[in-house]
Structure 1
């Protein structure tokens, strides 16, 4: 093989990387352009005018962005608390106890993801309407928790599995009881994984649309609902600004997860 052919081998790799970067960052670039666009129409390749007037409309009293943002954050935080309250004991039991049908129990938490969301939420909305939960924060939190438990339980199980069992035995050997061993040894060591679990649940809740629409709308305004309404009405600037509001915490939290969720925890997910 000639040196020239070796020198040209970087061309297809560079083209592939460039195409991948365009696929990933192209839509994000277009989103940011629309978020700061005042006027943009065909056949112009780039916006004709830039500005912040649509940002002021989104955050005005009639824009509902602040109410939708506060509701979305409140629901996401409550979903995290409820999910972890269920996932911490469940994850510890699945990681430490020799439970029969352990694999089946873990797979059971995937059931909400195994069926079309539309048909499931239509029936949940009918049931919640009968018991007074439709159109309430609590109803939306319960629906979001059914999806959040998938991340919460699986990652919590992996986090507790990654804790060295000998450290717990050492604490027990010097007189620590089961609860003190759990709170002083096991929980602090599993905390980075549990924090990552909480972040995944928070982001899942923040972006959840179908459950928020069928259970919460129109009484509980959420950012995904505002995004859908603006997009379906052709208000691309408002839809893009709402998408940016959803994107900022997602990027920040994912960087946090990458920093604290170690490989030894990831390797135990599902085991």
Structure 2
């Protein structure tokens, strides 16, 4: 019992320790060595953050994440259904290709992409940032949706076809409604990925497109600890809410089928 409590306490320390540091820094107006806690507390830096460029970065990040999620759904929904339902030659190789961007360190992958985007004048544009986010987003979207459609019994579709329904009608009236919870979970996963994506946003978006992670990085590099802490907390809150929603929609059966060819 004592060992279990010690493990729980250590786990809470690992989770809450960094968060508590962010909270303290976000309300610290004056904090100098060698004081353990701030000498002056207040909302000064919260007000500065919301009066400055942070609000624009926050709106931009949510807009890009929403756009990336929408494009991922439109592209991956039919593709994932085809992969899950039909015998496609080299299906495992196709899924592996989608996984490759995550199989290597992100920095060289995004650096090579940046070279191509310079040729197409996409660096520093909203289009370029959206495309670089899709490199990673499509991985999560395809693999998750394939597992969702694999979980739905094909016999239900065959029964509808035998009763006279077309394949298209069967998909929209039977398969798609049953897949909605998994599609929502996949969308939340993609949204969170895009919202927190940093490396690609910095390389492709700078200096004209400043997302929240890049804004936080710039603040930390300038040792603006209060501003960086406020930004970090603002990034963390929607992530917690969306993860709780994803836990509700992501069924264990989908995870059991994840990656099954």
Pick the TM interval, shorter chain.
Answer: over 0.9
- Give the count of matched residue pairs: 260
Partner SS, residue 123 of structure 2: coil
SS of the aligned residue for 1:123 comes to helix
Bigger Cα Rg = 1
Deviation of the 1:197 alpha carbon: 0.7
Once the two structures are overlaid, the 10-residue window that deviates more, 11-20 or 253-262, is: 11-20
Picking from 189, 192, 210, the partner of 1:200 is 189
- CA shift at 1:100, angstroms? 2.1
Q: Deviations over 1:152-200 (max 9, x none)?
A: 0010001111112122122212221111110111011111111111111
SS of equivalent to 1:110? helix
Task: Select the residue among 13, 17, 27 that pairs with 1:22.
Answer: 13
Q: 1: distance between equivalents of 2:4 and 2:125?
A: 52
Coordinate RMSD, CA, aligned: 1.2
Deviation at 1:42, TM superposition (A): 2.6
Counterpart of 2:65 in structure 1 is: 76
Tell me the distance in 1 between the aligned counterparts of 2:27 and 2:155. Answer: 56
- Show the counterpart of 2:82: 93
The aligned residue for residue 200 of structure 2 is 211
Q: Which ranges in structure 1 are unaligned for 5 or more consecutive residues?
A: 1-9
Structure 2 residue 42 is the aligned partner of structure 1 residue 51: yes
Structure 2 residue ranges without an equivalent (≥5): none
1:267 to 241, 252, 256: 256
**TM-score, normalising length: structure 2:** 0.96
What's 2:224 paired with? 235
Q: Give matches, 1:112-123, under 5 Å.
A: 112-123=101-112
TM-score by length of 1: 0.93
Cα shift readout 1:58-88 (whole Å, capped 9, x = no counterpart): 111xx21111111111111111111112211
Deviates more, 1:47-56 or 1:234-243: 47-56
Q: Could you say which residue in structure 2 is the equivalent of 1:34?
A: 25
Partner of 1:3: none
Q: Shift of residue 242 of structure 1? A: 0.6
